[in-house]
């Protein structure tokens, strides 16, 4: 990787209905419905809202034959309404459903961790897609690696790469290049490492498939936007990424403006920055440079820190070069950037994308955001959110919450809001709020507690990876979760965010 200049990684073009990604095409933004795929009017209406917001690629879950067949009605109704939105079917457990969906949609996404290929089902799917001009996404999820991969590699970035490469090699053997690949995790450090390792593995074998970026289960509100921007921004800064989804536990059309803001922010990254000591940086290995125990923010004492400020249009590369060129490689560093935006959301997303990667890579030890249009309290909240999203300092409850889809069997937006209202004041706690078991237990593996949909109106509670109580009525699940947290001594108060940050989603910013 060239550390000194932004350059998009070269990829082949993949056509997804009327949308082409890869090559010289702009980075495309997309989303996923959270309606029941059997509900044709509801699904079509939501797809049209996403399209009007600027999302030209929309994914729907197809967990069974009935849902797979109903994609035909959804696509037909959508086209009759005058929308040519690219439609993607999301397949997990049943290869037969992938074959059904491929008759109607523009792309099929499979999860190698769940998708059986015991009798050549994947090879047959490739041939079916080739005949209709349907694209494929090999979508690896950190939380759902196949048992044989997990047993050897664990839930690691390396295991994710092994899982993806098995299926990509089959695509290459079949001379099928209409393939997109993703490596998603709710842990930003795992997610970024997995994508970088994947790119290394693909480049070593001459593969140029486009990359789909996303942080899974990012949550909602300002925190969800910051967490997504840290992970996606780190890779866009590397020139990796041809299409992105910002996964928020909100109405899916809310994801599109955030994704487009990131795309526009990275559309042009000028400047070449000389690096004298590139050996000090390994993009796939996390290394803290200094001996600072707790990374700092600008409102805290900064004695003994070197403050490095970015002034160019490529702040991540500029600051990375400045850090790597320091004569004292372990000198504690605070990275600084000024933003003239008047929107809290815009400052938060841009700062997270620019400065978060330096914390994520272990290069920086502190953060200083200047934003004249924001209050000091708002800036402090954003700085703390970025530190937490980069997993270097935890100051408040973190929610690993899925954006929901047609598999979700309860109102996850309302439930997340209720859980936040009861637990957001707690310190150094991670709570997973998951719609179903497809990725739920795995993606929230590093959460302290988990709240996972087990069936219609039924919830399973976890402590870490251990099931504590299974399949209980939802109306009693939140109280049981609170009691579980109290019983384990984790009911500890943390400083509260500003009203602007806490109320972000409700105000519709």
pLDDT-based confidence at residue 507 (cuts at 50, 70, 90): very low
* Per-residue CA distances from 90 to 62, 313, 405 (Å): 6, 37, 10
Least confident segment among 30-39, 280-289, 331-340, 369-378: 280-289
Question: For position 424, what pLDDT does the model report?
Answer: 78
Q: Could you give the CA distance from residue 163 to residue 160 in angstroms, rounded to a whole number?
A: 5
- Nearest Cα to Cα of residue 224 among 460, 492, 417, 440: 417
pLDDT greater at residue 154 or residue 376:
376
Q: For residue 41, how many other CB atoms are within 10 A of its CB?
A: 11
* Mean of the per-residue pLDDT values of the chain: 89
For 414, counting Cβ atoms within 10 Å of its Cβ (0-12 exposed, 13-18 middle, 19+ buried), the class is exposed
pLDDT above 50 (res 208): yes
Q: Would you say residue 325 has pLDDT above 90?
A: yes
Q: Residue 128: pLDDT above 50?
A: yes
pLDDT band at residue 437 using 50, 70 and 90 as cut-offs: low
**Look-up: residue for tokens 């999820």?**
141
494 is written with which tokens?
């943390």
**How far is Cα 275 from Cα 285, in angstroms, rounded to an integer?**
18
For the residues of 224-280, what is the DSSP string, one character each?
HHHHHHHHHHHHHHTT--SEE----SS-GGGHHHHHHHHHHHTS--------S-GGG
Q: Is the pLDDT of residue 494 over 60?
A: no
Q: Are 178 and 138 in contact (CB under 8 A)?
A: no
Q: Which residue has the higher pLDDT, 313 or 490?
A: 313
Q: What is the pLDDT of residue 1?
A: 45
**Closest CA relative to residue 443, chosen from 379, 500, 399, 490:** 399
DSSP bridge partners of 180: 137
pLDDT of residue 505: 46
Q: Is the pLDDT of residue 499 over 80?
A: no
pLDDT of residue 5: 58
| CA–CA gap between residue 509 and residue 496 (Å, rounded) | 20
- Fold of the domain spanning 398-487: Sulfite Reductase Hemoprotein; domain 1 (3.30.413)
Torsion angles phi and psi, residue 434, rounded to 5: -120, 140
**CA distance between the termini of the chain:** 37
When the candidates are 3.20.20.20, 3.60.9.10, 3.90.105.10, 3.40.50.300, the CATH number that belongs to 14-265 is 3.20.20.20
Q: How confident is the model at residue 355, as a pLDDT? A: 98
Could you identify the residue written with the tokens 């042009």? 268
Give the CA angle between residues 144, 95, 470 to the nearest 5°: 40
* Banded pLDDT at 434 (limits 50, 70, 90): confident
pLDDT at 292: 78
Q: What is the DSSP string of 469-481?
A: EEEEEHHHHHHHH
Closest CA to 203 of 195, 191, 215: 195
For residues 75 and 102, the answer to whether their CB atoms sit within 8 Å is no
* Residue 109 in this model has a pLDDT that exceeds 70: yes
Task: Report whether pLDDT(506) > 50.
Answer: no
Mind listing the pLDDT tens digit for each residue in 290-323? 767 889 999 999 999 999 999 999 999 999 999 9
pLDDT tens digits, 209-242: 999 999 987 678 899 999 999 999 999 999 999 9
Each residue of 326-359: pLDDT tens digit? 998 889 999 999 999 999 999 999 999 999 999 9
Distance CA 239, CA 9 (A): 5
From the list 481, 483, 482, the residue with the least C-alpha distance to 472 is 481
Q: 106 pLDDT band (50/70/90 cuts)? A: very high
Query: Cα(493)–Cα(484) distance, rounded to whole angstroms?
Result: 16
- The pLDDT of 98-127, averaged and rounded, is 91
The residue that leads in pLDDT, 372 or 439, is 372
d(C-alpha 1, C-alpha 212), whole Å: 19
List, in sequence order, every residue forming a beta bridge with 183; answer none if it has no partner.
140
Is pLDDT larger for residue 84 or for residue 469?
84
pLDDT at 107: 98
Ranges 250-254, 323-327, 368-372, 491-495: which has the least confidence: 491-495
Provide the β-strand partners of residue 88. 59, 107
Q: Do domains 14-265 and 398-487 have the same CATH topology?
A: no
Q: Is residue 167 over pLDDT 60?
A: yes
Q: Domain extents for the chain?
A: 14-265, 278-389, 398-487
The average pLDDT across 396-400 equals 80
Bridging pattern class, strands 296-297 and 366-370: parallel
Percentage of the chain exceeding pLDDT 90: 59
List of E strands, 77-128: 86-91, 107-110
Q: Is the pLDDT of residue 474 over 60?
A: yes
Q: What is the largest CA-CA distance in the chain?
A: 65
Mean pLDDT within 139-151: 85
pLDDT at 509: 40
Confidence of residue 451 (pLDDT cuts 50, 70, 90): confident
- φ, ψ of residue 454 to 5 degrees: the values are -115, -10
H or E element at residue 183: strand 179-184
**At how many degrees (to 10) do helices 255-265 and 344-360 cross?**
60
Question: Is 168 a residue whose pLDDT tops 70?
Answer: yes
Q: What is the pLDDT of residue 159?
A: 93
Question: Is the pLDDT at 502 greater than 90, yes or no?
Answer: no
């Amino acid at each position: 990787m060239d550390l000194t200049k932004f350059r998009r990684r070269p990829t082949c073009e993949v056509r997804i209905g009327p949308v082409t990604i890869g090559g010289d095409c702009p980075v495309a933004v997309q989303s996923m419905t959270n309606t029941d795929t059997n509900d044709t009017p509801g699904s079509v209406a939501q797809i049209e809202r996403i399209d009007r917001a600027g999302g030209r690629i929309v994914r729907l879950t197809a967990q069974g034959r009935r849902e797979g067949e109903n994609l035909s009605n959804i696509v037909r109704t959508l086209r009759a309404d005058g929308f040519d939105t690219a439609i993607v079917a999301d397949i997990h457990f049943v290869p037969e459903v992938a074959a059904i969906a491929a008759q109607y949609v523009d792309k099929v996404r499979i999860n190698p961790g769940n998708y059986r290929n015991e009798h050549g089902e994947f090879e047959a799917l490739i041939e079916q897609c080739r005949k209709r001009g349907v694209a494929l996404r090999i979508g690896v999820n950190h939380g759902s690696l196949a048992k044989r991969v997990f047993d050897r590699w664990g839930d690691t970035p390396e295991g994710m790469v092994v899982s993806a490469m098995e299926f990509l090699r089959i695509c290459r053997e079949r001379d099928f290049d209409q393939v997109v690949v993703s490596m998603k995790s709710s842990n930003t450090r795992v997610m970024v490492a997995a994508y970088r390792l994947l790119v290394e593995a693909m480049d070593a074998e001459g593969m140029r498939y486009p990359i789909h970026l996303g942080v899974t289960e990012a949550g909602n509100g300002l925190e969800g936007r910051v967490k997504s921007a840290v992970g996606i921004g780190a890779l866009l800064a590397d020139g990796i990424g041809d299409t992105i989804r910002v996964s928020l536990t909100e109405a899916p059309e809310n994801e599109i403006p955030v994704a487009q803001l990131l795309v526009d922010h990275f559309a042009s990254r000028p400047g070449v920055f000389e690096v004298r000591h590139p050996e000090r940086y390994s993009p796939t290995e996390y290394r803290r440079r200094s001996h600072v125990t707790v990374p700092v923010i600008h409102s805290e004492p900064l004695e003994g820190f070197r403050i490095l400020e970015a002034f160019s249009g490529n702040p991540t590369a500029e600051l990375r070069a400045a850090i790597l060129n320091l004569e004292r490689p372990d000198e504690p560093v605070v990275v600084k950037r000024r933003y003239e935006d008047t929107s809290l959301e815009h400052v938060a997303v841009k700062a997270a994308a620019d400065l978060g990667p330096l914390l994520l890579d272990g290069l920086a030890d502190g953060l200083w955001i200047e934003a004249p249009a924001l209050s000091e309290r708002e800036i402090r909240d954003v700085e703390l959110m970025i530190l937490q999203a980069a997993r270097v300092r935890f100051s408040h409850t973190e929610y690993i919450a899925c954006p929901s889809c047609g598999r979700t069997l309860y109102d996850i937006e309302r439930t997340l809001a209720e859980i936040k209202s009861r637990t957001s004041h707690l310190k150094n706690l991670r709570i997973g709020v998951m719609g179903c078991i497809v990725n739920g237990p795995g993606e929230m593996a590093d959460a302290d507690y988990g709240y996972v949909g087990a069936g219609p109106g039924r919830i399973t509670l976890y402590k870490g990876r251990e099931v504590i109580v299974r399949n209980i009525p939802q109306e009693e699940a939140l109280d049981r979760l609170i009691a579980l947290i109290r019983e384990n001594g984790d009911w500890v108060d943390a400083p509260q965010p500003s009203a602007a940050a806490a109320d972000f989603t409700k105000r519709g910013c």
